[in-house]
Each structure stands twice: as C-alpha cells, then as structure tokens.
C-alpha cells in the first residue's frame, strides 16, 4: 500500500461528522470567511489520529468556506443555542413521539374497547339469541295454546251448535209430536163427541180409575215376576183374600165380619210393604169381580150383599175404589158406555174382543154367543147398580159411590143410539136400583122411565135370531107395571124364598 505524504503543513480537515454540532443550522456565510480557521481541540485530536499536522502558518485556501473563528464565548453561546435547538428538537421529537404514542395508546384503547365492545356485543348477542330463542319458544307456546284454544273453542262451539240444533230439532219434534197428539186428542174428542159409540165423560172416568191398573202393570207386576221373595209374600197373603171373598153371604153380620177380617189383613200387609198392599188390592179386585160374575149369574140377589161388602171395604180402604172400578169398567165396557162399533176398519172378532166376549174354545178362538155375553155383562151392571143404591146401616160410613152414578150411567146410555144389548143392560140396572132412583130423584126418574118406554124402547134393534127379544119384553113389562101400579118390582134384598 502506497503511503500518503503530507506536503502542506496546514492541512484542512472537515469537521467531524460525529460532532454534536448541527451544521445545517449554522450560517455558512459567517463561518467560511477568509480568516484563519480555528480548530477545536477535538478537530486537532482527529487530525493527529489521522497522522496529519497542522501548521500555524498554513494559509491554505479551501475551496469551501472555512469556519469562522470564534471566541470561546461565541462558541459557548452558539453551543448553547445549538443545545437549546437540539433540546427543542428533542422536546419536539419527544412530544411528537408522545403524541404518536398517545395516539397509538388511544388507538390501542379504542381497539381494545372495540374488542371489548365486540365481545360484549357477542355476549349480548348470545344473550339476545337465548332471549330470542326463549321468546320465540314462548311465542310458539302462546301460538300453539291459542291454536289449541281456538280449536277447542271451535269444537266446543260446533258441539254446542250441534247440541243446540239437536235440541231445537228434538224440541221441534216434541212440539210437533205434542201438536199432533193434541190434534189427535182434539180430533178424538171431537170424534167422541160426534160418536154414537162412546161416552167421552164415561171414558175419562174410566181412565182415571184405570190409572191404578196401569201403575200395577208397569211397576208391581215386573217385581212380582222377578222377585221370588216378594212373590212368595204375595202368594201367602192372597190365600186369605181368596178364601174371604168365596165365603161372602147375604147376612149383614157375616159381611161385617169379612170386611173387618179383610181390613185387618190388608192393613197389616200395608204396614210391611206398600207395594205388597197394592198388589193385594189388585188381586182382591180381580177375585171379587170373578165372584160377582159367578154369584150374580147364579142368583141376582147376590148383587146386593156383594155390593155391600164392596161399599164397606171402599169406605175403610179408599185405595180399593180405583182397583175395583178400573177392573169393573175393563170387564164391562158398557158401563162407560162404549160399544166399539164406530170404527169400520175393525173386524167383527176384534170388536167382540174389545167388548169382552169370552172364548168358549180358546184353541179355535170361538166366542161365546150374544145371549151368553149379554147375561154375563148384565151381572156386572146389576152389581154396579146395587153398589150405587146401597144404603149404610146405622152407624156405618156413607157410600163413597152413591146413587147419582147409576143415574148418570142411565142418562148416558139412553142418550146414545140403542144396540141389541142395551135393553138387557138397562133392565139389569133398573131391577136393582129403580126404587132407590125414584127415592133420590122423584121428579126426574118417572120422566126418564116414560122416555125409555115411549121413545127409546121402540127403537131397540132386534138380533137376527131374536136373542134380545126376551130382554126387550121384560123391560117393557117392568115399566108398564110401574106406570100401572106406581111401584117398581125390583129384586128383593132379602133372602129369596126358594133358597
């Protein structure tokens, strides 16, 4: 390496770049003046390190302006200014850095706050999602409940509407049925009023009594058939009833004895069972009317003592009246009176069945003859007349079925067109009750007898085989005797001479 030889002792050395002086801030017009350059200690030391020597007489002229010489005071002053500027720059830099840092800190805080806010928002969003899901679930439940409620309400309304319609329909049907029933009833009543075969008043009276028989059939008869204990109780109790009825006779003391026996028996049964009591009353009515048919047919005189027994029993046991009269009207429809011959659609056999014709042969369903039927029905009419005319003995209760009923029946049957059987039945009533009728209605009864004799009797139709001619003749003779003698020849209540 070639060494460098220094020929100029006054060598110019540029300022040290590592110097703390800010040369950019120095005014070069003042520094680089044609004056002797003053080197600082540091410059000198740098030159020495470089192996350079600095001559005091070197007037080397630099191409560039040389730094002006300065005194220590000037240098110090400049140095202070320079330091001040550096400090200012440093302060400015620090402020700027602080501002940047503050700005960075703020940005970081903002970012952190934004992150926190985002996190909170995410959390809130999660909470909102849960709340939304919960609210959605609640809303769905409310909607489902509302749908269910609407469905149930609709179903309930439909059911109510259907029930209302059915109720209205049923009500309309019932009203229509009731209207038809009323129309039929009115038509039937009108038909009865116009009919010459039925007495409307007598039919109503019959229905009133027969209601007890219907009660027995609907309530007591099924129990009697299905309850062995009850049936056994009735079977044992009715033995005395049947025996007592069979032992009835004309003597008043015997009648009183049998009435007392029957009364005690029935009241004892009633104390045990009201139903058993009702069943026995029904059985007594049937057994008693069977005895009436048998006894009166054999001897008409029996109508009186049988009627007295019935009168006394009705007086002590009023419930027996409905059973007795219901059964009596059923066995003898002529007591209504009702002939059942006003319906052209009814066959002859059906009319006979309704008029209570008995069968002489049940296998081939052969009915009894007209005369047999008439004599049998006359027995019931005679008992009816005897019951109405019965007078109490001293100390006995009044008759609950008095003579006015005989008068009413006679008036009803005389106001209807006569049939073949009518004279036989009228004679049967007069033979037992004419005397009592004259006593109770002394003015009207003779007029009625005159009406029957002169107006009605000639109108009685005769049977094809003249079976009712004997009845018509006997009724004519009975009335003629009354008009001749002023006395009626009724059947005696005392024991007949031939017995």
Q: Is 354 exposed, middle or buried (0-12, 13-18, 19+ CB in 10 A)?
A: middle
What is the CATH classification number for the domain harbouring 483?
A: 1.25.40.510
Question: What's the rounded Cα separation, in Å, for the pair 33 and 261?
Answer: 181
Instruction: Tell me, yes or no, whether 471 and 446 share the same domain.
Output: yes
Last residue of a domain, one of 322, 340, 361: 322
Beta carbons within 8 Å of 397's beta carbon, 6+ residues apart: 312, 315, 316
147 domain residue, yes or no: no
Side-chain-side CA neighbours of 272 within 13 Å: the count stands at 13
Domain, as residue range, for 395: 332-498
338 domain residue, yes or no: yes
Closest CA to 285 of 251, 252, 249, 329: 329
Instruction: Tell me, yes or no, whether 468 and 343 share the same domain.
Output: yes
Tell me the helices (H) and strands (E) count for the chain, helix number first: 16, 2
Last residue of a domain, one of 292, 322, 352: 322
436 domain residue, yes or no: yes
413 domain residue, yes or no: yes
Question: What's the rounded Cα separation, in Å, for the pair 336 and 328?
Answer: 10
Last residue of a domain, one of 322, 357, 374: 322
pTM: 0.64
Instruction: Tell me, yes or no, whether 424 and 478 share the same domain.
Output: yes
Closest CA to 375 of 476, 484, 296, 455: 296
Per-residue pLDDT of the chain (499 residues; tens, 9 = 90+): 455 555 555 544 555 444 555 545 555 455 444 445 555 667 666 766 665 544 444 444 433 444 455 566 766 777 777 777 777 777 777 777 777 777 777 777 777 777 777 666 666 556 666 766 777 777 777 777 777 777 777 777 777 777 877 888 888 888 888 888 777 766 655 554 555 788 889 999 999 999 999 999 999 999 988 989 999 989 989 999 999 999 998 888 999 999 999 999 999 999 999 999 999 999 999 999 999 999 999 999 999 999 999 999 999 999 999 999 999 999 999 999 999 888 888 899 999 999 999 998 888 889 999 999 999 999 999 999 999 999 998 889 999 999 999 999 999 999 999 999 999 999 999 999 999 999 999 999 999 999 999 999 999 999 888 889 999 999 999 999 999 999 999 999 877 655 4
Q: Bridge-partner residues for 489, per DSSP?
A: none
Question: What's the rounded Cα separation, in Å, for the pair 96 and 103?
Answer: 10
Both tokens of residue 411?
């008036």
């Amino acid at each position: 390496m070639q060494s460098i030889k220094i020929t100029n002792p006054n060598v110019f050395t540029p300022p040290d770049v590592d110097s703390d002086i800010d040369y950019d801030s120095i005014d070069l017009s003042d520094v680089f003046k044609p004056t002797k350059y003053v080197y600082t200690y540091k410059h000198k030391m740098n030159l020495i390190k470089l192996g350079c020597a600095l001559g005091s007489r070197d007037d080397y002229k630099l191409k560039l302006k040389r730094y002006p010489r300065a005194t220590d005071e000037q240098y110090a002053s400049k140095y202070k200014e320079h330091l001040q500027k550096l400090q200012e720059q440093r302060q400015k830099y620090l402020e700027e850095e602080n501002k940047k840092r503050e700005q960075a800190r703020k940005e970081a805080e903002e970012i952190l706050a934004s992150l926190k806010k985002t996190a909170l928002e995410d959390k809130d969003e999660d909470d909102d999602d849960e709340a939304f899901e919960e609210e959605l679930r609640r809303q769905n439940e409310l909607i489902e409940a509302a749908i269910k409620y609407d469905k149930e309400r609709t179903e309930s309304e439909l059911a109510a509407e259907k029930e209302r319609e059915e109720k209205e329909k049923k009500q309309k049907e019932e009203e229509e049925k009731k209207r038809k029933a009323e129309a039929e009833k009115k038509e039937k009543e009108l038909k009865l009023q116009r009919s010459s075969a039925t007495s409307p008043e007598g039919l109503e009276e019959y229905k009133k009594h027969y209601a007890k028989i219907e009660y027995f059939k609907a309530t007591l008869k099924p129990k009697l058939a299905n309850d062995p204990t009850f049936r056994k109780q009735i079977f044992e109790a009715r033995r005395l009833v049947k025996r007592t009825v069979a032992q009835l006779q004309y003597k008043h003391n015997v009648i009183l004895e049998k009435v007392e026996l029957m009364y005690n028996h029935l009241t004892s049964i009633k104390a045990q069972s009201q139903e058993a009591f009702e069943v026995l009353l029904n059985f007594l009515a049937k057994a008693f009317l069977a005895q009436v048919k048998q006894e009166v047919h054999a001897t008409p005189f029996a109508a009186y003592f049988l009627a007295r027994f019935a009168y006394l029993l009705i007086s002590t046991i009023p419930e027996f009246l409905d059973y007795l009269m219901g059964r009596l009207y059923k066995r003898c429809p002529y007591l209504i009176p009702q002939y059942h011959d006003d319906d052209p659609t009814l066959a002859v056999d059906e009319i006979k069945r309704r008029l209570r014709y008995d069968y002489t042969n049940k296998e081939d369903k052969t009915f009894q003859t007209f005369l047999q039927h008439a004599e049998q029905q006359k027995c019931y009419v005679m008992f009816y007349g005897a019951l109405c005319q019965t007078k109490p003995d001293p100390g006995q209760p009044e008759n609950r079925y008095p003579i006015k009923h005989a008068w009413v029946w006679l008036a009803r049957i005389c106001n209807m067109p006569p049939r073949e059987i009518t004279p036989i039945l009228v004679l049967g009533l007069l033979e037992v009750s004419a005397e009592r009728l004259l006593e109770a209605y002394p003015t009207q009864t003779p007029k009625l007898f005159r009406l029957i004799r002169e107006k009605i009797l000639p109108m009685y139709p005769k049977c094809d085989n003249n079976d009712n001619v004997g009845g018509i003749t006997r009724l004519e003779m009975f009335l003629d005797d009354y008009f001749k003698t002023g006395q009626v020849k009724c059947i005696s209540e005392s024991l007949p001479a031939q017995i």
